[in-house]
Structures are given as C-alpha cells and as structure tokens.
Amino acid sequence: MPAQPTDHSVAAVRAFNRFYTRKLGALDQHLLDSPFSLAEARVLYELAHRETTTAKEIGVLLGLDAGYLSRIVQSFDEKGLISRTPLPSDRRQQQLSLTAKGRQAFAKLDRSSQQEIAAMLADLPAPSRQRLVGAMATIEDLLEPPSQTRPAVLLRSHRAGDIGWVISRHGAVYTEEYGWDASFEALVAEIGAQFLRSYDADREHCWIAELAGEPVGSIFLVKGSDDIAKLRLLLVEKKARGLGVGRALTEQCIRFARDRHYKTIELWTQSILTTARDIYARAGFRKIAEEPHASFGVELIGETWTLTL
C-alpha cells in the first residue's frame, strides 16, 4: 500500500492550485473578458471537442452539480449556442451539440486563451518554457495516466473513389458542424480535381485513415514549390475523433515532406477549427498571419501556419 501523503505535500499541491488559478485569472467572474464563467467555458470546451454528448456525461467528467449544469445548458440554449435532441436510448436525456454560433463563440474564447498563454510564455526564455511544459506533462501523466487501449487505425494511400469521398464528406461535415455553404464543397472539389490532374507521386501524396475498413479521415501534402509543401484537407470523422487520427495523419505528412527534402510546410486554416489548430501546434507549426474574411457564407478569421523542417 502506498505511503500516506505528508501534510507538506498536501499543502504544496493546495498552494500550487491557488497560485495557478490566480495566474490564469480563473477566479474572475468572466474568463478572458468573455461573457462566460470558468465553468461555462469548460462546458463549452467539452461541447466543442465532442460530436454529441449529454449533460450527464459532462457533469460526470467535470464534477459539476446537476442543477448548476442544467442552468448552464439552459443559458446556452437560450443564446442559440447549442442544439438539443432526445437521446434515442433514453428520451429523458438530451444529446447536446454546438450550433455554428456556439462554435464561433468557442473559437473567440479559444483564441483569447491562446493569446493570453502565449503572452505569459513570451516572458520566459526557451529552456524555461520547455521545463514548464515538461512539468505540466508530468503532472497530467501522474494524476491521470493515458489509456493504453485504442482501436487500430490504418493509414493508406488514396485509390479510385477516395477523392470523391473526401469532397463529399468535407461538404457534409462543414455544413453540419459550422454552417458553411456549398461554396466550400466547391473549393474542395477544385482542390481534389487539381490534385488528380497534376499528381506528382514523388513530391505529393494523399492519405486516407481507415477504422475497421471504413474511411474516417484524410489529409493531402501537395507541392507549392521546390522548397515548400502545402498541407491540405485534414478531416477526421466524428466517430474517429479522440483516437489520435488527426495527429497521425499530420505526422505522416511531416515525415513525407522531410523525406522529399522540402524545407517548409505551409497550411491555411480558420480560427474556428480549434481541434485542427491544436494538432498543428502540437506538431510544431506556428501561426505567422491571420486575416478576417467572408467565405462559405460566414465570417471567418483565416490563419497561415508554417513548420520549418
């Protein structure tokens, strides 16, 4: 049986908790000058990173009182941030998912958090940043070890019919989750057609992720110039999210680009695509530019990211 923690270790953890919540401004009534409290922001985060969920599942995950969580959900519903549908297996419960307005609200909050943390880290020299990130990873691994069992995902090269699947699923997913119109599907179709017409197998590639024999994700690496490759059309189906599919696809692109002696990988994404942005940041990409634009029937903030190989 492990030894009981000492009073000193308990006090140290409590002191760290007080320090870190103050450092992040978590005790403020509204987080990051947003209309959301810390609890509301955490609920919004969970909704943004899940295909659908229930209030009960979020309550268990976050340890929130059922009555308090119910008031948060009702507030989100009144503001048009979420949609609610009865759970087929138990109609007393409701499935929750973010609306396009909800995803825009989360993207704004996520962007503010990104900027605040970046400003905090900017005051530290690079070795200190590495120590900080490493210490945080150690805390996570010790208090909540990652699951060791995940379904096997296969990454394979594209074959006949795959580009059509990529176009179809991009159109459906982005309309359903973000409210984008058919012009986005048309753009994906143009990219797919150009890829097939000018495909250079030595310098370009498309990978399809499969789960149990079914396509669940895609990514492209295409030639921009002799030195610059472009990462395009990363997609992961809802059923495969949380399994590391997006990370695996991105890492495959990076390996291929290095093998082909590219010097840089560039990509264009949107601030609202928070999960993809997180994958890019973890892979070492950095954002170098952003610009508001009106496309696909909505107002967006386009971002350019690069990775030096």
Domain limits, the chain? 7-143, 153-308
146 exposure class (CB count in 10 Å sphere: 0-12, 13-18, 19+)? exposed
Q: Give the E-state strand segments of 151-258 in sequence order.
A: 153-157, 205-211, 214-223, 228-236
pLDDT interval class at 149 (50, 70, 90):
low
Q: Does the pLDDT of residue 306 top 90, yes or no?
A: yes
Which among 259, 272, 208, 258 is positioned nearest to 235, based on CA atoms? 208
Each residue of 181-204: pLDDT tens digit?
999 999 999 999 999 999 998 999
Q: What is the CA radius of gyration of the chain?
A: 21
Token pair in block for residue 237? 């189906």
Each residue of 32-45: pLDDT tens digit?
667 888 888 888 88
Please provide the CATH number assigned to the domain covering 7-143: 1.10.10.10
Distance CA 166, CA 249 (A): 14
The number of C-alpha atoms within 13 Å of 204 and in the hemisphere containing its C-beta is 17
Q: Which amino acid is at 124?
A: L
Each residue of 206-255: pLDDT tens digit?
999 998 889 999 999 999 999 999 999 999 998 888 888 999 999 999 99
Q: Which CATH architecture has domain 153-308?
A: 3-Layer(aba) Sandwich (3.40)
Whole-number mean pLDDT of the chain? 87
Lowest mean pLDDT among 19-23, 82-86, 95-99, 172-176: 19-23
For the chain, percent of residues with pLDDT exceeding 70 = 92
b vs e for 81-100, b when ≥16 Cβ sit within 10 Å of the residue's Cβ? bbebeeeeeeeeebbbbbbb
In angstroms, how far is CA 110 from the centroid of its own chain? 10
Q: Does the pLDDT of residue 50 top 80, yes or no?
A: no
Whole-angstrom CA distances from 117 to 14, 84, 122, 297, 302 are 22, 33, 8, 31, 21
